[in-house]
Amino acid sequence: MSRRVGVLALAAAALGAVLLGVPGEAEPTGGTVVLTDKGAVRGSDRAGYREFLGVPFAAPPVGHLRWRSPVPRAPWAGIRDATTPGSWCAQHASSTGTPPSLDEDCLYLNVTVPDSAKPTRPKPVMVWLHGGGFIEGSGSEYDPRRMAVQGDVVVVTVNYRLGVFGNFGHPDLPGSGAFGLEDQQAALRWVRRNANAFGGDAGNVTLFGQSAGGQSVCAQLAAPGAAGLFHRAAVQSAFCTKDIPANLIAPGLPSVPPWEKLAAVTDRARRTAVELGCADPADAPACLRRLPAERLMPVFTRFAGLSYGGRTLPENPYEMLKTGRTHQVPVLSGATRDEVTYMQALNDLAGRPLTAERYREYLRAAFGTHADAVAARYPLRDGEPPSRTWATVATDDGEPPSRTWVTVATDSGLACPTFDRNRLSARHVPTYAFEFADRTAPPSLPDVGYPYDAYHSAETFYLFDIRTGNAPPALNAEQRRLGDAMIASWTAFAHTGDPGWPRVHPDKPYTQSLAPGPGGIGPVDFATSHQCGFWSSTPVF
């Protein structure tokens, strides 16, 4: 009791110093009240850790601050409650059961701190960027307590603006196309200022993310404004290099580059402004800012990707990677064994499973004159007689065309581009490659009749507990052990820059397989299993 009272007194005194403008660095309190650079926050004591939820890292980007770079939050008096998450950034409801949001006041982060018996030195800080295709998700969706406690690290999960609010562009909007990326940098600057107060080391920050969060990490590796804000980077299941094949993400979606030119975004923005009743170019930004959030939601997903050519991301990150001009930090990088089962299953569940003819149409749309070569390499294969939900569209040989397309799209769109990215990265910085390969991973979507295997996003359930949406899939004892091993590797990387397996070398591209059971963790011939030789010799993009 006396210790807690002393902590509160220290926090109150330090807060007074901040409000009076007295210089000095806040010390970590070790309790549920921590002094940040803007004021004190009270979190929650848990078994073995403390968490601080809904901590603001920038001013609410509302009203005249919509589509502006994030600005500092004003200091607050007293002790701010940090026991519940902040609002999710504006987004539609998702297939995983998360609700819609119209809230633009969403620039909050969450800090999880392990209770070490003797915290003799600051802990590494790991900053997580959530996935969701830049149109959904939240930092508070991910509960990192296992990672924090088992790995003895401070974990920060971050919100950033999404869709039209995060990636909109207009010639009269400074920072166009990259407001979400700027939010991430603002969160990293908050970490630099406040890590010490939570027992973290501002000089040892790992930025990591999955899917859109992983692509964000690729962007920050190339962004001038992110220089010095993180010291290691981990990229999970991200489009960062070559074009995304047609139909991979959704039926009818043409082949698209992972990095769009800003000029194309601003072009689309002009047309969107006219559609929304803001046709006067001189008044368009102000007119658009006057619109309520619900008026913008019908065009929300038109701005669902990252662009380059502006001040935040001046150059294409892939070109910078190829020439070794990204930030020189160690990189952990990988993908899942069967990435596209998740995306294709969403299409099948929506009543659009592939027929054999549509499979051939997909190949033609994605690979043009090379479609026959791809079809010969990835034929509709023999298998057991069809059953369950895909029986009506399975080929006579047994395997559903949807599942064959999954293999094509995984290898060409994610696996081999990841292999290529890892080899390029290894020319310049220590690089460690992995493949999450638990083909018994419990699915997060309903049964579609073919196995999900090691699907896109499956590895996140092994690293985090999930707080929101549909009930998260339960891991068995063997999978829990795999999760513990992965957490040990991810946090070892945060501590030392080495996850515990051999580095990638351009002429010896080692990849660590991560699967449960005896022999599940070890080297894998990634290039052979995903036919990367074929894809590198066939100019399909």
* The residue type at 243: D
Q: What are phi and psi of 295, to 5 degrees?
A: -70, -25
Distances (CA, A) of 290 to 45, 64, 65, 271, 295: 42, 8, 11, 18, 10
Q: What is the CA radius of gyration of the chain?
A: 23
Q: 3-state SS of 228-251? A: CCCCEEEEECCCCCCCECCCCCCC
Cβ atoms of residues 426 and 507 within 8 Å: no
In the chain the first and final C-alpha atoms are separated, in Å, by 66
E strands in 337-404: none
How many other C-beta atoms are found inside a 10 Å radius of the C-beta of residue 198? 26
Asked if 360 and 375 touch (Cβ cutoff 8 Å), the reply is yes
> How far is 333 from 343, CA to CA, in rounded Å?
21
Q: Is 252 left (phi over 0), alpha (psi -120 to 50) or beta?
A: left
Q: Which residue's entry shows tokens 């599940």? A: 520
CA neighbor of 309 nearest in space, from 301, 298, 320, 299: 320
The residues annotated as belonging to the active site are 211, 339, 456
- Largest Cα separation within the chain, whole Å, is 78
> What is the C-alpha separation between 307 and 60, in angstroms, rounded?
23
Q: Can you say whether residue 277 is alpha, beta or left, with left for phi > 0 and alpha for psi between -120 and 50 degrees?
A: left
Which sign, positive or negative, has the C-alpha torsion 397, 398, 401, 404?
negative
> Could you count the other beta carbons within 10 Å of the beta carbon of residue 295?
12
Task: Please answer whether residues 269 and 179 qualify as being in contact, where contact means their C-beta atoms are separated by less than 8 angstroms.
Answer: no
- Alpha-carbon gap, residue 244 to 410, rounded angstroms: 10
Q: How many residues are present in the chain?
A: 541
Residue with tokens 């030789």: 533
DSSP state of 85: P
Which long-range contacts does 388-392 make (Cβ < 8 Å, 24+ apart)?
388/447, 388/449, 389/348, 389/353, 389/447, 389/448, 389/449, 390/348, 390/353, 390/448, 390/449, 390/450, 391/449
DSSP 398: B
3-state secondary structure of 394: coil
> How far is Cα of residue 395 from the mean position of the Cα atoms in its chain?
36
